[in-house]
Structure 1
């Protein structure tokens, strides 16, 4: 049992089983044992690789997407350029390099990064070649200029609640202790009420709900409606999902057992984009998509960008082609990862979402 596992086991022994959402939150953000507080998760030497770490093309094209939105809303003299969960800052660094080549784009102000890990904040400040202002949460961002925001693999790390249909109703999945004191999954004795299930369940079906993700999407929608601008969220999950158990732990680029690796493995769940879009639109924004990451990048010109990079450095052409395939192919990240655009009312249809549902 990990140090965090022992701490949670003691807590459960005293106060009873904990919801999955609390266990997930502690596993990722516990001040002493949380995964993002203590470990270097990114890259080949870490536990997983994100799209910005695969190729500079990803962040550059995200930057150009933001620039196109800025142009479509009248090229305002000031914007709030922000990212949720910036990792090592690679995406924003690449986006800024692309934005610096856009005539007139306002780069005089600081870049706003929402990050709770002090360790990652230091890495981001060194990676992003611009003044950085860190915030603990979305509410800390300025609201006096249009918001241009990106969130890549942010929502998948927000805690989820899980509910299992038993025939009597949806019972919340809890983490308790077995007779030997080990952590185990179980169910709350009484069914929960008021859950967003839209199709008839069968016994054993698992409903996942992210109150934290929905809250962020709602707040983001309200901000966009009030101050203008747009946001691009890229993550893995389904456009419309029914019932499934997607909670997973990843360590050293392989799946791991959730309860025996708490604090020492990344915990994520697939994003329900329909829930995010509904929350943002209810708060006043407009939602477009989701579309596949491969479709997004293709429409933004990743093929042409890859060709130019390969022509400039022929020796790197094989690795550029490999990165292109990993980012866009349906059997790689192209279909599993999706992009959702959230815009203020009146913002023209955002780039790449012309044929989005």
Structure 2
């Protein structure tokens, strides 16, 4: 319960009744009108200094009904807090609070929040690449990487009949090193260089600024240019930034994705004697450095039923026909589907029918990335509708893997659930 008290006089608790009586007596015997009394009080208040006014206001909170530390434990019992935890940063606090309210998170949601939280996300506020960051990518090692991609784009453009306008779309551009090397090589092919317009897709405002600096972009003089549009030096091609691939305009496009898909969220599943169960992220209450731990869902989750059981919680034919009419992206399809899934199966179905696969064995684990699937579908639709191509570069083992999620800090693998 909240209560606000306005203190017009500093009074000791024992003398409040006496002062209140005196005040009533004064008002009842005074010949002043109520309006005059009110005006006098207002004038007195207005004459106060700002720092003095704050002394007349106080907020009191009745905490008796609030949740006490320790959950169901009696408030007067000692609670042993876990020992050896690393310092809890702002992001850990956000994730912990979410789990306390909603219960364990899917690995996909945990990844998404950790990487792209608007205020505390890993990619959102700082440069994480290079020797001063946590990992290094191919474009940071050699300029030849971006130059070879430029050669591929020129050759593909020629195969397309050399259209006069073509979009070069890079998704997850990092520092902008790949695009910088690409543009330097593209200048060696003037007809191609004159035909291109650059589109950079990145969710991080901080990384967008770094990319602008790397490319030495300049403001555009055209006041009608779309938002977040700049121009390369010497009146070069325009460069436009987007937070979502769905916002990139349609048209002939060459798309580049270098080490993008390995950073997209995944759902993880494990096969048990009760069928497929999803791996979730919960709070780690044990002693040790980790703030979080992996647990198995008690029953089939929405993701288990849809992505493994292939339960149709929406009509895909209706969604696809809507896409054909409106050019809604695959990412939008996914959002539509997930909204329907959440409405139908908001929590794990503990008593529902288990999801089984005949060939699966107890202990088998798999990962599924719906966001990756939707993005590839979106890219394919654009190519089929407007022409172009896509070059996707990523790395991994040449044999099937189970759980590939890794944490990297200071160029070394680290615990995923620690910080």
Whether the 8 Å contact between 2:166 and 2:195 is mirrored in structure 1 is no
Residue 199 (structure 1) shift: 8.7
State the partner residue of 1:23.
110
State the partner residue of 1:210.
369
* Aligned pair partner of 1:190 in 262, 280, 299: 299
* Aligned pair partner of 2:244 in 128, 131, 137: 137
CA distance in 2, matches of 1:49, 1:108: 31
Between stretches 156-165 and 187-196, larger displacement belongs to 187-196
CA distance in 1, matches of 2:404, 2:161: 41
Residue 3 (structure 1) shift: 2.2
Normalising by structure 1, we get a TM-score of: 0.69
State the partner residue of 1:4.
91
Residue 212 (structure 1) shift: 0.7
CA distance in 2, matches of 1:225, 1:165: 38
Larger-gyration structure (1/2): 2
CA distance in 2, matches of 1:179, 1:72: 59
With over 3 angstroms needed to count, the CA separation of the structure-2 counterparts of 1:52 and 1:160, relative to structure 1, is same
Residue 12 (structure 1) shift: 0.9
Whether the 8 Å contact between 2:125 and 2:205 is mirrored in structure 1 is no
Deviation by residue 1:54-108 (Cα, 9 ceiling, x = unmatched): 0000000001101110011111111011100000110011111111112411435
SS at structure 1 position matched to 2:120: coil
What are the within-5 Å matches in structure 2 for residues 1-357 of structure 1?
A: 1-107=88-194, 109-129=196-216, 130=232, 131-144=238-251, 146-180=252-286, 182-191=291-300, 192-195=304-307, 200-238=359-397, 241=400, 243-261=401-419
With over 3 angstroms needed to count, the CA separation of the structure-2 counterparts of 1:201 and 1:180, relative to structure 1, is same
The answer to which structure, 1 or 2, has the higher relative contact order (CA under 8 A, 6+ apart) is 1
Residue 109 (structure 1) shift: 4.9
Residue 252 (structure 1) shift: 0.4
Whether the 8 Å contact between 2:166 and 2:197 is mirrored in structure 1 is no
SS at structure 2 position matched to 1:14: helix
Residue 10 (structure 1) shift: 1.6
Between stretches 173-182 and 251-260, larger displacement belongs to 173-182
State the partner residue of 1:288.
none
Whether the 8 Å contact between 2:126 and 2:207 is mirrored in structure 1 is no
Whether the 8 Å contact between 1:2 and 1:260 is mirrored in structure 2 is no
State the partner residue of 1:337.
none
Count of residue pairs the alignment pairs up: 259
SS at structure 1 position matched to 2:189: coil
Deviation by residue 1:172-209 (Cα, 9 ceiling, x = unmatched): 11011244594211011113234459993322221100
CA distance in 2, matches of 1:64, 1:250: 32
SS at structure 2 position matched to 1:173: strand
Whether the 8 Å contact between 1:46 and 1:252 is mirrored in structure 2 is yes
CA distance in 2, matches of 1:118, 1:208: 29
Residue 134 (structure 1) shift: 0.2
State the partner residue of 1:314.
none
Residue 7 (structure 1) shift: 1.6
Whether the 8 Å contact between 1:79 and 1:106 is mirrored in structure 2 is no
CA distance in 1, matches of 2:119, 2:267: 23
Normalising by structure 2, we get a TM-score of: 0.59
With over 3 angstroms needed to count, the CA separation of the structure-2 counterparts of 1:178 and 1:36, relative to structure 1, is closer
RMSD: 2.0
| Structure 2 unaligned regions, length at least 5 | 1-87, 217-231, 233-237, 310-356
SS at structure 1 position matched to 2:210: helix
With over 3 angstroms needed to count, the CA separation of the structure-2 counterparts of 1:40 and 1:106, relative to structure 1, is closer
With over 3 angstroms needed to count, the CA separation of the structure-2 counterparts of 1:199 and 1:61, relative to structure 1, is farther
With over 3 angstroms needed to count, the CA separation of the structure-2 counterparts of 1:178 and 1:105, relative to structure 1, is closer
